[in-house]
Chain A
């Protein structure tokens, strides 16, 4: 990892500290600054309210030329989060082909929060959850809340 990348990650961390999105806490390890642990409260206006989610943001060596990788360590029932041990979220600006170097982690954090409030069922990674979200919102909310109780307390 180049010095430039490290410098930028440090700077971004500073920026995040000044302007942390509400309900988020970043655990930053100077020894391993390419892996951030983010603790995030489920947004109040979402079905995930009351849950506490642990995320990992991994910066590739090519950062900022390649996007950071976001993964949910806490299981979450969400159309845009893969329902496996990776819990990866890959859409919008996080897609490799959509990523631009000027994008910042802060905006990534905001994107995650926005997606918890309003999942994007058109660009889903879990098609069955997306279908349920679209066609059977009640059932989706029930399961999502159930998962919050089960995994995110």
Chain B
């Protein structure tokens, strides 16, 4: 991984100090500090590193895949990932902006900008064992670049040119650099090739560590190259998304400015990688995100099992009664429990099937949203709904054929009471076990009957309605009670 690309930098070191390399332990040190014997292992199998001959490179080329001594190869996700190996060495003319700076007592960084033209599929078979393995990062970058390239070209170009004009502006010694060099690939549109069609050009930084890490002293931030977040961040540098890199910038300058607005891909990845909202649809990666989804689901369903609104017709059809002495409480006062206004004897109120009563306007507003009695939660639509659907059914059949008479005959024959006055009583029989429904007084029965008869006066009055009430009104009530518990 350690490219010889930093070598042109070395002659520019202020004081050309000799670096010595130990072939035994791969240690590196300055000759004028420790001499030619390795201070680490005592070996004298050492070599002075020269610009045109770097033993480290030989070693890495010889033992490919084994060049990450810090981690066992299997633990290192990219131990075989060497996308830059297939590239030819840069020419001297390709390299500019060489910068050498001291980061700390034992650490230096060399930063250079190298302009390369590279097309991922050009490397052919000259690298045995690698020709079947095209560099994934660049291949993917290339694909994405081709998809979106046109859209982001402008802003990127400008940034690039500005950066190039700023002397040393691109020096980023803090860029993740160990062990070796981290490519910071960016499209480099301002040389020879215009656009992206011929494959992206890459402009990358390299930071060399010229001395082993000192375990006892603070060192500049040198991250391993395989931090997934960094890899993706760099990928999005290629395609134009302004992912912020985690690594601190030693000179405090933002690494890149003026990038195009958040790219949708970048935004997507940002969302996925942010642990705070580590969720993808209903798929979550953290407890926090799971909690949030559960909360959301609960909120969505909070009214899911509550009955919907009552129909305006059903509300209108509710009987109006005059307040009587018996309806007043023990202290001879009564109020509408919705508006808390007192009601007087003779005032007209609306009574629900459960015999709770309210101001017409008050209860209308409530029933318009919930088909429940504000007191006991019994719906007003139980039988009416059945009634309506039955009306609909039979009128449909009436329109299409003439089955109605036989239908009516069938129902009347099967239920002889249905035509009798007070047939509504079948409902009472059905709901007699319901402690929340008081038996109807004869007067109320009459009211009900009038009301039942009115909408269906042109056909068999209440035959089918009473019938269906008898069979399913009770069921509806049972379901309601099962869902909401005993009415309050």
Q: Per a CB cutoff under 8 Å, which of B302, B341, B374 touches A97?
A: B302
Is B339 at the interface (CB under 8 A from chain A)? Answer: yes
> Is the Cβ of B337 less than 8 Å from the Cβ of A4?
no
What is the distance, in angstroms, from B206's C-beta to the closest C-beta of chain A? Answer: 48
Question: Given the complex of chains A and B, what is the CA–CA distance between A102 and B337 in angstroms?
Answer: 5
> Is the Cβ of A100 less than 8 Å from the Cβ of B302?
no
What is the distance, in angstroms, from B331's C-beta to the closest C-beta of chain A? Answer: 15
Question: Given the complex of chains A and B, what is the CA–CA distance between A92 and B365 in angstroms?
Answer: 23
- B residues contacting the other copy or chain, number (CB 8 A): 17
Q: Size class of A's contact patch?
A: 10 to 19
> Is the Cβ of A97 less than 8 Å from the Cβ of B337?
no
Question: Given the complex of chains A and B, what is the CA–CA distance between A95 and B375 in angstroms?
Answer: 16
With a CB–CB cut-off of 8 A, which chain A residues contact B377? 100
What is the distance, in angstroms, from A80's C-beta to the closest C-beta of chain B? Answer: 15
Is B362 at the interface (CB under 8 A from chain A)? Answer: yes
* Residues B286-340 near A (CB distance < 8 A): 302-303, 305-306, 337-340
Residues 82-94 of chain A, each 1 if its beta carbon lies under 8 Å from chain B, else 0: 0000000000000
Given known contacts A65-B369, A102-B374, A102-B375, is B306 in contact with A97 (CB within 8 Å)? yes
> Is the Cβ of A64 less than 8 Å from the Cβ of B338?
yes
> Is the Cβ of A100 less than 8 Å from the Cβ of B339?
no
Is A134 at the interface (CB under 8 A from chain B)? Answer: no
Is A110 at the interface (CB under 8 A from chain B)? Answer: no
Question: Given the complex of chains A and B, what is the CA–CA distance between A78 and B486 in angstroms?
Answer: 29
Is B488 at the interface (CB under 8 A from chain A)? Answer: yes
Question: Given the complex of chains A and B, what is the CA–CA distance between A135 and B284 in angstroms?
Answer: 28
> Is the Cβ of B302 less than 8 Å from the Cβ of A65?
no
Stretch at the interface among A7-15, A17-25, A139-147: A7-15
With a CB–CB cut-off of 8 A, which chain B residues contact A64? 338-339
Given known contacts A11-B340, A100-B488, A102-B337, is B303 in contact with A4 (CB within 8 Å)? no
> Is the Cβ of B340 less than 8 Å from the Cβ of A96?
no
Give the nearest-CB partner of B363 in chain A. A101
> Is the Cβ of B302 less than 8 Å from the Cβ of A101?
no
* Residues A97-125 near B (CB distance < 8 A): 97, 100-102
With a CB–CB cut-off of 8 A, which chain A residues contact B369? 65
With a CB–CB cut-off of 8 A, which chain A residues contact B339? 4, 7-8, 64
> Is the Cβ of A100 less than 8 Å from the Cβ of B375?
yes
With a CB–CB cut-off of 8 A, which chain A residues contact B305? 97
> Is the Cβ of A102 less than 8 Å from the Cβ of B302?
no
User: SS class of chain B's interface: helix, strand, loop or mixed?
Assistant: loop
Is B285 at the interface (CB under 8 A from chain A)? Answer: no
Question: Given the complex of chains A and B, what is the CA–CA distance between A97 and B305 in angstroms?
Answer: 9
With a CB–CB cut-off of 8 A, which chain A residues contact B211? none
> Is the Cβ of A96 less than 8 Å from the Cβ of B362?
no
> Is the Cβ of A65 less than 8 Å from the Cβ of B341?
no
With a CB–CB cut-off of 8 A, which chain B residues contact A97? 302-303, 305-306
* Residues B15-70 near A (CB distance < 8 A): none
> Is the Cβ of A12 less than 8 Å from the Cβ of B340?
yes
Give the nearest-CB partner of A2 in chain B. B365
What is the distance, in angstroms, from A2's C-beta to the closest C-beta of chain B? Answer: 9
Give the nearest-CB partner of A8 in chain B. B340
With a CB–CB cut-off of 8 A, which chain A residues contact B366? 65, 101
Question: Given the complex of chains A and B, what is the CA–CA distance between A45 and B476 in angstroms?
Answer: 44
> Is the Cβ of B303 less than 8 Å from the Cβ of A96?
yes
Residues 431-463 of chain B, each 1 if its beta carbon lies under 8 Å from chain A, else 0: 000000000000000000000000000000000
Most buried by A among B303, B305, B306, B339: B339
With a CB–CB cut-off of 8 A, which chain B residues contact A95? 302
With a CB–CB cut-off of 8 A, which chain B residues contact A11? 340
Given known contacts A8-B340, A11-B340, A64-B338, is B303 in contact with A101 (CB within 8 Å)? no
With a CB–CB cut-off of 8 A, which chain A residues contact B302? 95-97
Using CB atoms and an 8 Å cutoff, list the residues of chain A in contact with chain B. 4, 7-8, 11-12, 64-65, 95-97, 100-102
Using CB atoms and an 8 Å cutoff, list the residues of chain B in contact with chain A. 302-303, 305-306, 337-341, 362, 365-366, 369, 374-375, 377, 488
Q: List the 10 closest pairs (A to B, CB-CB), nearest first.
A: A102-B337, A101-B338, A101-B374, A97-B306, A11-B340, A8-B340, A100-B374, A4-B339, A97-B303, A102-B374
Known: A7-B341, A65-B365, A95-B302. 16 other contacts (CB 8 A): A4-B362, A7-B339, A8-B339, A12-B340, A64-B338, A65-B366, A65-B369, A96-B303, A97-B305, A100-B374, A100-B377, A101-B337, A102-B337, A102-B338, A102-B374, A102-B375
* 10 A-B pairs whose Cβ atoms sit less than 8 Å apart in the complex: A7-B341, A8-B338, A12-B340, A65-B369, A96-B303, A97-B303, A100-B488, A101-B366, A101-B374, A102-B374
